[in-house]
Structures are given as structure tokens and as C-alpha cells.
Structure 1
Amino acid sequence: MSKKKNKVRPLPQTVGINVPGVETHAHLDMEDFKEDLPEVMARAKECGIAKIGNVFLGPQAYETNRSLFDAYPEVFFLLGVHPNDADQYTDADTQAMRNAFKSDSRLKALGEIGLDFYWDRVPADVQEKVFRTQLELADELDVPVVIHSRDAHEKTLEVLEDYGWSGKPLLWHCFGSDVATAKRILDNGWYLSIPGPVTYKKNEEAQEAVKFIPAERMVFETDCPFLTPEPWRGKRNEPAYVAFTAAKVAELKGMDVNELWAICAKNAYDFFGL
């Protein structure tokens, strides 16, 4: 009996992106990249990525891991307390983030913050309190926010609109919902970030939404090491693989991938002040 052949997967360089762009949301300080960060960064450059947003999940992660990127000036920073960690939040976290944003010019947005009702790890009222606390901090610091919302879109939007965040700088991280949700986000003047699952064959709802979202209000992300796009689904995600997401979205929108990549890069530069 012959052995089953390993699946041959195309490299992201084959997408042919040849203009500089932005991968807006990565977790490169996680253990998954401990052994090969230099190689990961090199592959990203080969795939047209000029800037990468690294997301630190809380002040401790920021203080411990920011030095990992001393040799990579192309990396900018996001910092916030994830809703699944909201039960550990203290006033000291608020002060630590306030100090960090005032002293580190690489910090460009407060996030990812929001609500997560999928995992049900933290009571909803605790999540909401910490969410509002961080919105207040972002308002005080005059920085954009990046939203995490999983199985909580209606409540997240309710909190944001009640707070008065309409028209203020906001990026909806990892958007994968329907046209109606996309429209409400757009009507508030916000941006949407498109991740790898839009490449999945059965993800028709998100694909229809992507057709609806104007390119001028869209950016790309991997959320690596999670949410790997096809054709590398099932493997560790990394910034270079955002090329496959861009290619799929370009196909859905009937656009040239380099044209779309350039538009979304400008959006990211404008939103984060890069």
C-alpha cells in the first residue's frame, strides 16, 4: 500500500503582491513564534508586507515582550486587555497602559478590547465594565480602538453607540459576520478588518459581506497564529499568509489584488497614523 502523499500547498509569494502593504493584527510575541521569528519576518517582507501590527494582550505581555521587536522597526504596537481576561483587570492595568501610550510612540491603538460571549469565561457584566473602562482610556489618550467581538455583535455595538463612539476611530478586528452587521459598523464611520476565514468555502455569509464593504473602509489581518487561510488551513498562521486573504477578497470584489492591497494599505496607514 502506498503512503498518502503530503498535500502540496502554494507559497504566499505566488499570489504576486508587489506593492507594500500592512498586516494589521498579529500576535508574534506568542510562544508559537519563539523559534523562528526572524524567518517569519523575512517571509512577510517577501510577500509585500511593509508594516505589521503586533497586539499585546495586556500590560504584562507588553512589558515582557516588546523588546522582541527592537530589531524590527516595521512593527507597530497595539495594547489592550482582552475580554477573556477581564476578570483579572485592575486599576493598575489602566495606569500601566496610560503610561505606556504616553511614553512609546510605537503604540498606535488600544486593543483588542470588547466582548466575547463564545467562550463564556468571564461574566458579561464584568466584560462590559472593563470594555467601557478601556474606551474611556482611549478617549482620554485620543487613540483609536480595535474591537474584539465574538458572538456578541449586538451588545458590542450597543455599548459603543451608547458610549458615543460613533464617528471616532475604530477598527472591527476579525470581521466575519453578515451584510447587516457590516452596514451598521460602516454607518458608524468605522473600519473592518478581514481575516483568513473569508477564504473558507462554506463561509458564504462573510464572503457576501466582503462584497458589500467598500475597499476604502477595509484592512487585512491574520490574527496569527490563529485563523489560517486556505490553502494553509490547519497549520500555524503567519503574516505572509495574509496574501491569500487579500487574493480571495480581490476575487470576490472583482479587483486586481495589488490595487486592493494598496488601497487597504492606505487605509491602515491613515487609521493607525503610520
Structure 2
Amino acid sequence: MAVTRLLLRLQPTSTRSAASVERVARDHPPAAPVPPALLRVAHMTTRSIGGRDVITLTPKQGTTGTQLLYTHGGCYVFPLLPVHWRIIATLMRESGATVTVPLYGLAPEHHVDEAYALLEGVYRGLAATGSPVFLAGDSAGGGLALGQALRYRDVGLPAPAGVVLISPWVDVTMANPDIRAVEPRDPMLGVAGFVAAGAWWANGADPRSPLVSPLYGRLDGLPPVSVHQGGRDILAPDALSLVSRLREAGNDVSLEYLPGAFHDYVGAPWTPEARATLRSIGRVLRA
């Protein structure tokens, strides 16, 4: 983990400033394709909902019937990357779940309302199968996973079986004063870029509204939530605050907190910490 942190510091950080994020957002590359290694162990189907691709991967062996709706991270401006497919492939192997991955539109061209319209359509279809449906996501995708749980509770849809949050981004304002103290120790992320991307994503709405920043939502009456968070991550202070608020609201919450881990550390499978966390999530999905 320490060696990987050092290597990450050698990489350019596109979220250090609003200008650096804007340069990336001007020309979104396409989402990374499903890797051949994953296609060897899973059947893939792709359908379109509202003009957005939705990819579903079902294990060829050992499927349990559980459904996992996974929303990828990327600060709402970066597309799905090969690292996300690595995470998804490992979760599928560890859990036997069928994984559905909606390729939601990215900011600044697209925004929060469009994403939830797409995700609700996907979720309604999965819930109609009668199988257990989990919501999961990393970083911005973690914010979407939690926001979905709030939305579906409020509109009376069947509750998901659980929510899995990996390094979740749950407050786009980044207003927590503890964040600035973490930033020098974060080898990957910058506060200014996240604030700019969050404003684009809100698209003029209150950035503290629950679907944009679910940390500020009403948090009672949710399914079990598991949070997996590293300490060298500017999103850690809000993730810890979320866990406290979820517990205060009477929810079943588990926290795996690794002080030396960086943002989305589960995407580094060469580290024992990442492998242990993905096995732990797999057990949650099997349960």
C-alpha cells in the first residue's frame, strides 16, 4: 500500500484545480470496454435506456441469482475506466452476483436528474425479477448508490437488499473543515477540482440537496449499509461523518476503515488490503 501511494504521487492529478478538471471534461473519452478476460467468465448483454447503454454481466458458473447495480466513480466527469472493470470482475467472482452497470451521462453535458431517471429505470427492472438487489458504487458512484437508496425509500419502491459504498463521495460541497487537513496526504485527489465538478453535476440545484449530496438527506429507514474507506483520501472525513449519521438514524451500518489506504484502494488488487476488502464485500453480497 505504501509503495503504491508513492507511485500514485508520480501521476498527474487532474482534480487539483477547477481548470484541470475542465480540461478533462472538454473531451470525454469513451468508457473502457469490457475486458476479454471478463467476457471469458461472464455472459454480457447490452441494452439502451433513455439513450444510455446499460451493461449486464452474468457469471457463466456459480451464479447465485443476486443482482448488483454498480455505479462507477470518476468525479461525475470521468468515464468508466479499466480499474472499475477490475473491481466489478472481482466482486462477481467473490459473490456470484449478476452485475448491471449503467453508463450514466457525465458532467458538464449531463447532470444529476438525468442520472437518477436512468438509474430508477434500471432498478425497477431489477426489482421486478424478485431477486435480491444490492446497490454499490465507488467514489461518485458511491454517492449515487446511497442517493438511490434515499430516493427509492421516498417513492415507495422495494428496498434494496443492501448498499455497498467504496470511498463514497457524499457531499459535493467539500465543506467539511477536516478535508483540508487530509488533502496533503492524499496522493490522488484535489479539493478544488471536486468542488467544480460537483457544481456542474448539480446543474443549478442546491448542492446540498439529498440526491446531489446524500450526506444531507434524511438517513433513517435504509437497508444495511457497508462502507469501505481509506484514510489518505479527501473523501474520508465525510465518509466517517456519514457512518455516524447513519448509526444515529438507527440503521445497520458496518465500516471498514484503513488509515493508510488511498482513494478507491480496492482498485489495486496487488495489495492485500484490496483483496481482503473485496472478499469482505463478496460475503456481504452472498449473505
TM-score normalised by the chain length of structure 2: 0.41
Which protein shows a greater Rg? Answer: 1
Between Structure 1 and Structure 2, which shows a larger proportion of helix residues? 1
